[in-house]
Amino acid sequence: MRKDKSTPVEPIDPASLRATGADSGNQLSNANRNALLVLVFVGLASVAVLVFWILPGVVDQQRSSGPPKQEPVVPLQEPSETFSEPSGVPEALAEMPAALTEQEYAALRLRAETLLLGIIERQDSLQQQGVEQWANQDFAEAVASGQAGDVRFRKQDFVEAIRLYEQSTDALQALQDRVAAVLEQALVQGDQALLQNQGEVAKRHFNLALAINSHNRRALEGLKRAETLGELFALLETGGHFEAANRLQAAEQVYRQAVALDSLSAEAASALQRITERLAEAEFSRQMSQAYALLQSRQFEDARAAFRKAQELAPGSKRPAQGLRRVDEIVREEKIASLKAEASHFEKQEQWSLAAQSWQQLLTLDPQASHAAEAAARTRHRAAMLAKLDHYLEHHERLYSTGVSAEAQALLDEISALDHSPGRRILQSAEALQDVLVLARQPVRIALYSDNQTEVTIFRVGKLGRFEHQDVRLKPGQYTIIGSRPGYRDVRKTLYVTPDMKAERLSILCEETI
């Protein structure tokens, strides 16, 4: 065991662990004791490595290699020289009590040494946590049990030494389990003393907390506050006198000094907040007046800033929120008027898509505006019709398809059925589309030539049979012409018919034999 000032503990000399009762006076130095402790740790670690890593591998290797080979028995020879105990260790330790085997003796000694190491560590840890200040009697009793174990250890009564060491270990562990609760109790009592202006009492509790944990931030801050507690309450008293005399600026200055002295003081913070609110009332009235003046002159952003400043000064007042809502209403009304004028302008320019966007934005601001809803629907419809017309005109080859041609014609019929003129752009595009449709429906003469032996078929048109020359009339579009003849490989040709083709000639005949 180790020694401390409050409770002397007689240290166990490592040499005495192997000494007999007659040789107990021969003690090793502290350096030898530390070396022995290190050897104990190394021995424990070596056993663990042997059992958990090396031994399983050896067993597995023997199992996999089959039965061991029989080797001839070689008689053991006596060692050429005898080994003696290291100097300073009596030979009497080589003899063991008759009741114990060598393994039992070694196990008891190892158990006692392990417990001793734990006791030393726990004792040192508790002393570093100021245990003498909060549980001196309990600590002394735990140490006494360890000292009694030391005596039995020297007499090689390991069973009794183990019992006493375990008793000491349990007592020290119980003290370690109490550390957190004792620390928290000291902090709580220190905080309560601060609230009651009991500076010395607070210091005592926070010093105890620091003895347990010298880096505890709460204890460090509490001790610092306790040292300035008298000055803090003097400032608060002075500020109270200024406030009672309605000297608000002077009171604010003193309260700020109190907060700077102790930023964690609830009293100082409350006093400063109270005086700040009183000073803010006058500023609040000034900000509200300025905000309404800015609103009257249509300086909306500046008016909002003034109302928000007033809101910061008096968060509980409804007046700033009312002013902000009035700003939003006026801005909304002006925005609606602007969007209405913008949409009307786009309609006159027949920019139907832009007009639809403006009407839709107006509806977002005023969903109840029925005229805006009608205008938005009308302009969206015209924008869609113009987009379709432009698409058909840009991709007129699609009109060669019967289905697409029918869709385009339906669009033209819809435009012609409108009650009101859809506008010059739509009418012009519709007229151009009508002309393209006429051309797309006009058949084009195609001259086909063959050898009067090939069966000619136009896919999706019909069979033409055998001929040398035949004229067909096909509407613009894509056609596949197939020629077939027994004993010959079929031929297949693709024909693109456009309205501007004139007297197109195409030869189709089978010439490659199979």
Are residues 126 and 18 both part of a single domain? yes
Are residues 139 and 18 both part of a single domain? yes
Are residues 171 and 238 both part of a single domain? no
Are residues 24 and 156 both part of a single domain? yes
- pLDDT given for residue 98 in this prediction: 53
Are residues 143 and 292 both part of a single domain? no
Whether residue 423 lies inside any domain: the answer is: yes
pLDDT at 467 over 90: yes
pLDDT at 61 over 50: no
Whether residue 406 lies inside any domain: the answer is: yes
Whether residue 162 lies inside any domain: the answer is: yes
- Residue 19 backbone phi and psi in degrees, to 5: -90, 150
Strand pairing class (444-449; 504-507): parallel
Helices (H), 19-135: 30-49, 55-64, 102-128, 131-134
Q: Edge-to-edge strands of the sheet including 477-484?
A: 462-465, 455-458, 477-484, 491-497
pTM: 0.38
Instruction: Name the 3-class secondary structure at 375.
Output: helix
Are residues 429 and 467 both part of a single domain? no
- pLDDT given for residue 97 in this prediction: 53
Whether residue 249 lies inside any domain: the answer is: yes
Whether residue 186 lies inside any domain: the answer is: yes
Whether residue 382 lies inside any domain: the answer is: yes
Are residues 428 and 470 both part of a single domain? no
| 158-195 helix and 136-154 helix, angle to the nearest 10 degrees | 170
Whether residue 54 lies inside any domain: the answer is: no
Are residues 19 and 125 both part of a single domain? yes
Are residues 24 and 160 both part of a single domain? yes
Q: Which one of 392, 415, 441 terminates a domain?
A: 441
- pLDDT given for residue 56 in this prediction: 36
CA dihedral over 418, 420, 423, 428, signed as positive or negative: positive
Are residues 296 and 384 both part of a single domain? no
pLDDT at 64 over 70: no
What is the pLDDT confidence band of residue 137, given thresholds at 50, 70 and 90?
Answer: very high
Q: The CATH number of the domain where 298 resides is what?
A: 1.25.40
Tell me the C-alpha distance between 147 and 65, whole Å: 54
pLDDT at 68 over 70: no
Answer with the residue of higher pLDDT: 22 or 453: 453
Instruction: Name the 3-class secondary structure at 470.
Output: strand
Are residues 188 and 160 both part of a single domain? yes
Instruction: Name the 3-class secondary structure at 404.
Output: helix
Query: What value does the mean pLDDT take over residues 78-83?
Result: 32
Give tens-digit pLDDT for 347-371.
888 888 899 999 999 888 888 887 8
Domain that holds residue 419: 342-441
pLDDT at 443 over 50: yes
Q: Report the half-sphere exposure of 239 (CA within 13 A, side-chain side).
A: 26
What is the pLDDT confidence band of residue 416, given thresholds at 50, 70 and 90?
Answer: confident
Angle at alpha carbon of residue 166, lines to 161 and 170, rounded to 5° = 150
Average model confidence (pLDDT) across the chain: 80
Identify the H or E element spanning 481: strand 477-484
Whether residue 40 lies inside any domain: the answer is: no
Answer with the residue of higher pLDDT: 261 or 13: 261
Are residues 154 and 22 both part of a single domain? yes
Please state the domain count of the chain: 4
Query: What value does the mean pLDDT take over residues 20-28?
Result: 32
